[in-house]
Amino acid sequence: MFEHILVPVDFTEKNAVALDTAMQLAQQYHGQITLLHVIEPIEYEDDEIRVFYQTLETKAWEKMKAMVESVDKDEVPIKQQILFGRRAACIVEYTATEQVDLVVLSSHKIGFDQPPKSWATLSYQMSILCPCPVLLLK
pLDDT at 5 over 60: yes
pLDDT at site 46: 83
Q: Return the CATH number of 4-137, one of 3.50.50.60, 3.40.50.2000, 1.10.3720.10, 3.40.50.620.
A: 3.40.50.620
Say how far residue 109 (Cα) sits from the centre of its chain: 18
pLDDT at site 85: 94
Bridge partners, residue 137, by sequence: 106
Task: Dump strand ranges (E) for 30-101.
Answer: 32-39, 78-84
Confidence band for 106, pLDDT divided at 50, 70 and 90: confident
The model's pTM is 0.88
Task: Give CA torsion, residues 18, 23, 25, 27, to 10 deg.
Answer: 180
Instruction: List the chain domain ranges.
Output: 4-137
Q: Compute the chain's Rg from CA coordinates.
A: 16
Which H or E run includes 1?
none
pLDDT at site 94: 96
pLDDT at 72 over 80: no
pLDDT at 86 over 70: yes
Bridge partners, residue 8, by sequence: 36
pLDDT tens digits, 17-43:
999 999 999 999 899 999 999 999 888
pLDDT at 50 over 80: yes
